[in-house]
């Protein structure tokens, strides 16, 4: 039997990129699975098991109070007094840094008897790479050289003040003899000369947010802490922060994920957008390479320390197998400019923009049919290269899988939006646009002619065109990504908005990736029925931008309803079951947590509840809150805007009761919508 991918849903996770620590909810880091300290795609600690007098504490509680911290409490019943009440326990406080971790072990005794005991921590390291861990592989621990392990270019070194250090084969044992209540500490410092990335070195602004529905503030607080914990930068460019995609599998640069995370977080930071744009610009493709998927003008998919072996793919360390990141890069540049990215920074990126537009309007359409499509030329890369990139993600209504080359609906929308936004940006900067507007207009016509289908679910754009140019007619969340891109008419947008809020897609906890009425639907499928928070947030954003504020708020509230089940740390994805099937959403057990675009989704919810839009070059703000407000009264103070901040309050009815704008800004009249 093949090894199985280890599960993550029941683990405690603390991180400060590029380091993440995963353990059981009892605090113990055990051999096997995904547990351990991972740094730059290597596991530099694979065991950390605590005992007191040879016995493990009996876990009674755990907490993750911040992205980089975890706390555990376990009973020490063999140390306690004779009565039924526990009188001795161990508190384990963990702190993760970019270069390692530390723990404080506090033994507490309340019965007044000064008992003698031995606290021991057993440590081991296997230096397993992330793809081997993800595949369920196991390897033997390394033999330490003193209180340290070394392999390749990586080092992990233990320190423990006051401890007796015993070397036991491949394990290091730290021992403290203590009496009564006592506290001991140990730490691990790690380094890797081959690591590509360093900490992002910045923190996102934290506006003050108060809402009657406290789930919103709890979600934002958790999400912004997690985004801070995920920020990375290239070693050579430490000032250009971007969001690593997610822990533990994808804690590295991902074009699509990092771009969407920066785009959803724009109301808080144009700096993150600028860093992401520049980092990906430096890696923009310059040549044709079928093995890596590189092409001139194309934006990178992912970059890792070493090649990555997936279940059905063998990816090079620098891989370009994405059909959408190039258009998303252009869209982020435009949106960052609208939110206030300095004109000088924007102009510096115009050569990258034009090179990207060359690919979008040229090589992206590999067979000349007028649509962008993908095919894995190497035979070793990703079979699907949109955001739903699992091998079975593109299905017909009857469940059969589509064959390449695949032209995805949302990719056409991204490309249309990228070209339209590029025209707006270039025109505002006094730069020539050529025939870009005509190209976008022609795409709109082609899309309307070729993509729309009718099934028992309704009339809507197909998920894709397959290799025979047949519409792949499954009803999926992908159609929600078309909203607000300019590809659809107002009537078409409204029709799709109603369809997206139908219970076959809108589960009650968020948007399913595939309609429950299709043959391929499975609530625990990675892309064919599960719920991805970022996917829901993108559709919320599209509904708002297309004038459907009430529908946007309704869908946003569904995602808000899911957040408490995950301790307000929205995972990469979760199961597609709705409230009629389960009182709380069920996890997808191998899901990353935290995930950058899932964390950034919280910012989109805030924007939707405010009905906020900003145009810094025009010095205008739009506020169109849904009525009534789905989160009750809402007050925001200190939202970054140009060189100042925006303060706004709305009451439970959705009316704006207080507004303070930076000097020179004006409020546009509220536009009527759905």
| For residue 176, pLDDT beyond 60 | yes
Distance CA 331, CA 450 (A): 24
| For residue 81, pLDDT beyond 90 | no
Distance CA 328, CA 384 (A): 17
Q: Token match 């596991």: residue?
A: 43
Contact criterion met (CB below 8 Å) for 57 and 75 = yes
Contact criterion met (CB below 8 Å) for 528 and 392 = yes
Q: What is the pLDDT of residues 543-586, one digit of tens each?
A: 999 999 999 999 999 999 999 999 999 999 999 999 999 999 99
Residue 658, burial from CB neighbour count under 10 angstroms (0-12, 13-18, 19+): exposed
Q: How confident is the model at residue 1 (pLDDT cuts 50, 70, 90)?
A: very low
Contact criterion met (CB below 8 Å) for 474 and 460 = no
Buried b (16+ CB within 10 A) or exposed e, 506-522: bbbbbbbbbbbbbebbb
- pLDDT of 150 reads 96
Q: How confident is the model at residue 201 (pLDDT cuts 50, 70, 90)?
A: confident
| For residue 674, pLDDT beyond 70 | no
**Whether the model pTM is above 0.95:** yes
Q: What is the pLDDT of residues 601-621, one digit of tens each?
A: 999 999 999 999 999 999 999
Q: Token match 């934002």: residue?
A: 220
Q: How confident is the model at residue 2 (pLDDT cuts 50, 70, 90)?
A: low
- pLDDT of 671 reads 56
Contact criterion met (CB below 8 Å) for 98 and 18 = yes
- pLDDT of 83 reads 81
pLDDT (average), residues 168-179:
96
Contact criterion met (CB below 8 Å) for 332 and 273 = yes
Taking only Cα atoms into account, the Rg of the chain, rounded to an integer number of angstroms, comes to: 26
Distance CA 645, CA 656 (A): 17
- pLDDT of 613 reads 96
| For residue 96, pLDDT beyond 60 | yes
Task: Using alpha carbons, select from 255, 264, 277 the residue that is nearest to residue 542.
Answer: 264
| For residue 80, pLDDT beyond 70 | yes
β-pair partners for 302: 254, 319
Residue 371's φ and ψ, nearest 5 degrees, are -130, 150
- pLDDT of 82 reads 79
Q: How confident is the model at residue 84 (pLDDT cuts 50, 70, 90)?
A: confident
What would the DSSP string read from start to end of 343-398?
Answer: HHHHHHTHHHHHHHHHHHHTTTSTTSSSS--B--SSSSS-S--SSS-STT--B-TT
For 555-558, the CB contacts below 8 A with 24+ separation are 555/500, 555/501, 555/506, 555/510, 555/511, 556/604, 556/605, 556/608, 556/609, 556/630, 557/630, 557/631, 558/506, 558/507, 558/508, 558/509, 558/510, 558/511
CA of residue 47 relative to chain centroid, distance: 27
Domains of the chain by start residue, with CATH:
12-192 (2.70.98.40), 197-621 (1.50.10.10)
Rounded to the nearest integer, the mean pLDDT of the chain is 96
Residue 327's φ and ψ, nearest 5 degrees, are -65, -40
Q: Token match 């079979």: residue?
A: 383
| For residue 6, pLDDT beyond 80 | yes
H or E element, residue 16: strand 12-16
H or E element, residue 603: helix 596-610
Q: How confident is the model at residue 673 (pLDDT cuts 50, 70, 90)?
A: very low
């Amino acid at each position: 039997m093949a090894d199985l991918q280890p599960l993550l849903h029941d683990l405690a996770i603390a991180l400060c990129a590029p380091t993440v620590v995963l353990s059981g909810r009892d605090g113990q880091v055990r051999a096997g699975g995904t547990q351990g300290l991972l740094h730059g795609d290597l596991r530099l600690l694979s065991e950390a098991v605590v005992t007191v007098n040879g016995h493990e504490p009996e876990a009674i509680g755990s907490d993750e109070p911040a992205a980089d911290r975890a706390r555990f409490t376990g009973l020490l019943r063999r140390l306690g007094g004779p009565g039924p009440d526990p009188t001795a326990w161990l508190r384990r406080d963990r702190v993760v840094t970019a270069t390692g971790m530390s723990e404080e072990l506090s033994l507490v005794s309340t019965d007044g008897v000064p008992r003698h005991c031995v606290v021991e921590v057993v440590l081991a390291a296997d230096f397993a790479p992330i793809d081997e861990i993800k595949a369920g592989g196991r390897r033997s621990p390394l033999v330490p050289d003193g209180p340290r392990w070394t392999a390749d270019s990586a080092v992990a070194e233990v320190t423990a003040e006051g401890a007796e250090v015993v070397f036991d084969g491949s394990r290091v044992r730290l021992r403290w003899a203590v009496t009564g209540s006592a506290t001991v500490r140990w730490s691990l410092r790690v380094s890797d000369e081959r690591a590509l990335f360093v900490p992002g070195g910045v923190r996102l602004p934290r506006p003050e947010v108060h809402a009657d529905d406290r789930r919103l503030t709890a979600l934002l607080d958790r999400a912004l802490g997690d985004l801070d914990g995920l920020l990375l930068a290239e070693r050579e460019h430490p000032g250009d922060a971007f969001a690593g995609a997610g822990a533990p599998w994808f804690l590295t640069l991902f074009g699509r994920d990092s771009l969407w995370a920066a785009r959803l977080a724009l109301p808080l930071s144009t700096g993150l957008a600028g860093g992401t744009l520049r980092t990906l610009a430096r890696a923009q493709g310059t040549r044709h390479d079928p093995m890596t998927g590189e092409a001139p003008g194309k934006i990178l998919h992912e970059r890792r320390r070493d090649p990555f072996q997936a279940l059905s793919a063998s990816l090079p360390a620098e891989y370009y197998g994405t059909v959408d990141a190039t258009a998303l890069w252009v869209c982020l540049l435009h949106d960052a400019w609208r939110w206030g990215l300095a004109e000088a920074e924007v102009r510096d990126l115009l050569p990258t923009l034009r090179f990207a537009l060359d690919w979008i309007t040229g090589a992206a359409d590999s067979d000349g049919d007028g649509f962008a499509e993908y095919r894995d030329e190497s035979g070793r890369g990703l079979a699907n290269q949109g955001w739903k990139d699992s091998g079975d993600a593109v299905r017909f209504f009857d469940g059969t899988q589509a064959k390449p080359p695949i032209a995805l609906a949302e990719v056409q929308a991204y490309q249309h939006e990228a070209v339209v936004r590029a025209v707006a940006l270039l025109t505002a900067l006094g730069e020539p646009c050529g025939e870009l507007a005509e190209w976008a207009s022609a795409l709109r016509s082609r899309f309307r002619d070729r993509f729309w289908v009718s099934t028992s679910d309704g009339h809507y754009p197909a998920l894709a065109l397959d290799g025979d140019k047949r519409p792949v007619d499954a009803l999926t969340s992908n159609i929600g990504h078309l909203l607000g891109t300019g590809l659809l008419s107002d009537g078409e947008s409204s029709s799709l908005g109603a369809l997206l809020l139908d219970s076959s897609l809108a589960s009650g906890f968020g948007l399913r990736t595939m309609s429950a009425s299709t043959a391929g639907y499975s609530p625990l499928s990675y892309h064919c029925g599960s719920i991805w928070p970022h996917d829901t947030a993108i559709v919320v954003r599209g509904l708002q931008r297309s004038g459907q504020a009430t529908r946007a708020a309704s869908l946003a509230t569904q995602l808000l309803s899911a957040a408490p089940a995950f301790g307000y740390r929205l995972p990469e994805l979760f199961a597609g079951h709705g409230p009629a099937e389960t009182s709380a959403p069920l996890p997808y057990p191998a899901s990353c947590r935290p995930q950058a675009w899932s964390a950034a989704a919280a910012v989109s919810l805030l924007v939707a509840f405010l009905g906020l839009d900003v145009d810094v070059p025009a010095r205008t703000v739009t506020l169109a809150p849904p009525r009534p407000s789905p989160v009750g009264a809402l007050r925001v103070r200190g939202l970054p805007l140009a060189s100042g901040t925006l303060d706004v309050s709305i009451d439970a009815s959705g009316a704006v009761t207080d507004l303070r704008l930076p000097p020179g800004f004006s409020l546009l009249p509220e536009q009527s919508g759905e």
